[in-house]
């Protein structure tokens, strides 16, 4: 009821001409050239309003706003508003009074843009009416359909299976206990891995483990402890003259002496 009482204005045009038109003798449509276009029967203001799903074309006085005629429209295009066959600025409308009597008159706009706005305002209104009708029909059909009962029955339960929880539990790692050396490591982050320390190669370990001590100079008064320490030290290889060579030189030197008579000596030979 409130919607029917509310009236909205769709279009207002300040200049419109009204013509008396002869009755139509055939179904070929109206022609504006048959009217007396230079001598309009009335000139005033046109206003297009809507109340509910019905649109109204109101012809009013420019100064006082007094209503001259009104044409209710319940369908467009339809018999209430028709276009002429020879122009886009002229229309034929059906006006009605309060007693229900009706008559057909012609209206025309001086500007072609005003005629375009008048036509578009009626089209938009009845397009909206069509959409409202379809929406109301769909809502009525939805009300007649059986509704789904999504409630739990007595004793009915539901089970939720959350897949991500198992993944999180499997990815969590337990903290390691301290080793024999007393060192403790922090637990790795979830899903992370600790890289194993690199295994040293045999060549590198041999170089690290074998340390060559510096050479120790031997003296005549070296102690027995120093001699023992030197036993573990590798002796650098050097070419030293052999003892046999020394004694060989001695024998060679002695043989080089000319034969002399043996001298008496106090040494006893064994």
Q: Please indicate, yes or no, if residue 187 is contained in any of the structural domains.
A: no
In a domain, 184, yes or no: no
Q: Is residue 40 part of a domain?
A: yes
Contact partners, residue 64, CB within 8 Å, separation at least 6: none
pTM of the model: 0.51
In a domain, 101, yes or no: yes
Can you give the CATH number for the domain in which 100 is found?
A: 2.30.29.30
pLDDT, tens only, 60-101: 999 898 999 999 999 888 889 999 988 999 999 999 987 878
pLDDT digit string, tens, across residues 217-252? 554 444 554 544 444 545 555 454 544 455 555 455
The whole domain housing 129 covers 7-140
Contact criterion met (CB below 8 Å) for 90 and 107: yes
In a domain, 71, yes or no: yes
153 located within any domain: no
Q: How many domains, in total, are found in the chain?
A: 1
Q: Map residue 92 onto helix, strand or coil.
A: strand
Per the domain annotation, does 53 fall within a domain? Answer: yes
Distance, CA of 187 to CA of 177 (rounded, Å): 10
Residue 118 covered by a domain:
yes
């Amino acid at each position: 009821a409130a919607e029917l009482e509310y009236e909205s204005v769709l279009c207002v045009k300040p200049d419109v001409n009204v013509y008396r038109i002869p009755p139509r003798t055939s179904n070929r449509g109206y022609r504006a050239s048959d009217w007396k276009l230079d001598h309009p029967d009335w000139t005033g203001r046109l206003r297009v309003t809507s109340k509910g799903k019905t649109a109204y074309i109101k012809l009013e006085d420019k100064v006082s706003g007094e209503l001259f005629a009104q044409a209710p429209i319940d369908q467009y295009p339809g018999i209430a508003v028709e276009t002429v066959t020879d122009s886009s600025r002229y229309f034929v409308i059906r006006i009605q009074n309060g007693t229900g009597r009706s008559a057909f008159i012609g209206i025309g706009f001086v500007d072609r843009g005003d005629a375009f706005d008048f036509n578009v305002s009626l089209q938009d209104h009845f397009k909206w009416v069509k959409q409202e009708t379809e929406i109301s029909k769909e809502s009525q059909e939805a009300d007649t359909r059986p509704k789904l009962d999504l409630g739990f029955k007595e004793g009915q339960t539901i089970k939720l299976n959350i897949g991500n929880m198992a993944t999180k539990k499997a990815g969590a790692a337990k903290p390691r206990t301290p080793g024999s050396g007393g060192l403790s490591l922090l637990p790795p982050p979830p899903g992370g891995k600790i890289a194993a320390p690199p295994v040293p190669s045999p060549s590198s370990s041999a170089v690290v483990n074998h340390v060559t001590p510096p050479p120790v100079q031997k003296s005549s008064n070296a102690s027995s402890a120093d001699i023992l320490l030197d036993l573990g030290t590798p002796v650098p290889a050097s070419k030293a003259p052999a003892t046999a060579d020394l004694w060989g030189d001695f024998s060679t030197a002695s043989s080089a002496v000319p034969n002399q008579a043996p001298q008496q000596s106090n040494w006893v030979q064994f």
